[in-house]
Homo-oligomer: A and B are copies of this chain.
C-alpha cells in the first residue's frame, strides 16, 4: 500500500482540509492517507480548541485512514522544529508522498530550502518565526504555508526520507485571513468566529466538525490563566530563564508585567513589542506553562490516535508496531511521551475527556 502523509493541526478541521485530503489522494493515487497531527497544544503556542481525540475522530470520518501524534514539545515550536518532527514521523511510517497546502505550488521547494540550510548554520540561535519571515522578505514566499513547505523540503532532504513533495493549491483564503467568505475559511478565522460566538463559520466546516464543536468545551489560553498566572508569580527570573526558548531577558519582562495582568489577554497586551511576534510570546508562555527545559531532538515512537481498518492493515503489513504506540506504556509515559502526557493531564483539567486508554478504531 502506498501512503501519502499530511502534517496538520486540524484546529479545527474545515472544508479546506477536506479538499486537501481528497485532492492529495487523487493526485498521488495513494491507497492511504496518514495524518501526522499536533496534540492538545499547537504551533501557535496555545491550547487546541478541541482535544486531539475528537480532532482525530473527525479526520478519520472526513478522509484520513490513520492519525498519529506529533509529541507536544515539537508541535508547539517554530516551523523548523515542527517540520522536523513531522517529516521524521512521516519517514518512519514509510510514507511515499507528503502533501501540503500551498499558495504557490509551482515553487521549487527543494531548491528554496537550501537557503534554510545556510541560514540555520549561520544563525542557529536567532531562528524564530520573525526571522523566517525576514528570510523570505524579498521573495514571493510570503505565506506561512509555503514557509512550512520549504521546511518540509529541508528536512525531507536532511533526513534523506525521499518522500515526493506534493504541494496542493490552496483555495481562496490565505492562512492568516480573518475573514470568512463562502465555504472556505482559514482555521484561524474559524477559531476567531467560534470564540466570539459568531456562527458564520458553519458553512466553512464539514457537518462532522460542526457536531463536535457544538457539544464541546472550546478551550483557549484564558482557561489556563489561573495556572499560568500562578506559575509566573511563583517563579524566579532565574527559573524562567531555564525554560526552553526564553532569552534576552524576556524572563524579567514577564515578571515585570505579570503583577498588573488580570487575564491572559492583558498579559499578552503588555508583553507585545516590535521584537517579538504574538506567536513568539505565546510559544514562550506555553513552554513555561508546560515547564519544558531545553531538549535534544529525538523521536523514537509516535502515538496512534485513530485509524480505520485500512490504517490498521497498513500498520500490520508494514510491521510498524515498534514505531507506533497503540498502547502507551508506563515507560513511554516516562520517556518519549513524558511532556505530551503532562500537556494532556493539564488540558484535561480544563476539558475532561475519557479518550486515551486506547486509540480510536473505526
Q: Which residues of A contact B (CB under 8 A)?
A: 226-227, 229-231, 233-235, 239, 259, 289-291, 342, 345-346, 349
> Given contacts A259-B345, A345-B259, are A231 and B234 in contact (CB under 8 A)?
yes
Whether A342 lies near B233 (C-beta < 8 A) is yes
Q: Give the residues in chain B near A227, CB-CB below 8 Å.
A: 226-227, 230
Q: Are B349 and A234 in contact (CB under 8 A)?
A: no
Do A349 and B291 form a contact, CB below 8 Å, given A234-B342, A342-B234?
no
> Nearest chain-B residue to A350 (Cβ)?
B226
B349 touches A229 (CB 8 A): yes
- A137 → chain B closest CB, angstroms: 38
Contact between A346 and B291 (Cβ–Cβ < 8 Å)? Answer: no
Cα distance A346–B229 when bound, in Å?
A: 9
Contact (Cβ within 8 A) B235 A291: yes
Judged by DSSP, the binding face of A is helix
User: Which of B233, B342, B346 contacts A346 (CB under 8 A)?
Assistant: B233
Give the docked Cα–Cα distance between A199 and B259 (Å). 37
Cross-chain contact of A230 among B233, B259, B349 (Cβ < 8 A)? B349
Closest-CB distance, A27 to chain B (whole angstroms)? 43
Which residues of B sit under 8 angstroms from A289, Cβ to Cβ? 234
Q: How far is the CA of A342 from the CA of B229 in the complex (A)?
A: 12
Does A290 lie within 8 Å of B346, measured CB to CB? no
Cα distance A259–B352 in the bound complex, in angstroms: 13
Say how far A329's CB is from chain B's closest CB, in angstroms.
Answer: 16
Measured CB to CB, the closest approach of chain B to A174, in angstroms, equals 36
The 23 sampled A-B contact pairs (Cβ below 8 Å) are A226-B226, A226-B227, A226-B349, A227-B227, A227-B230, A229-B349, A230-B230, A230-B231, A230-B346, A230-B349, A231-B231, A231-B234, A233-B342, A233-B345, A233-B349, A234-B289, A234-B290, A234-B291, A234-B342, A234-B346, A235-B291, A239-B291, A259-B345
Residues from chain B with Cβ under 8 Å of A234 in the complex = 231, 289-291, 342, 346
Q: Which residue of B lies closest to A230 (CB)?
A: B227
Chain B proximity of A150: nearest CB distance (Å): 34
Query: Which interface residue of A239, A259, A345 has the most chain B CB atoms within 10 A?
Result: A345
Q: Which residues of chain B are near A231, meaning CB under 8 Å?
A: 230-231, 234
The 9 closest A-B pairs by CB, nearest first: A227-B230, A234-B291, A233-B345, A226-B226, A233-B346, A234-B342, A230-B230, A226-B227, A234-B346
Q: How far, in angstroms, from A345 to B233 measured CA to CA in the complex?
A: 7
Query: In angstroms, how far is the closest chain B Cβ from the Cβ of A22?
Result: 40
Instruction: Write the nearest CB–CB distance from A274 to chain B, whole angstroms.
Output: 27
Beta-carbon nearest neighbor of A288 in chain B: B234
Cα(A230)–Cα(B259), bound, Å: 19
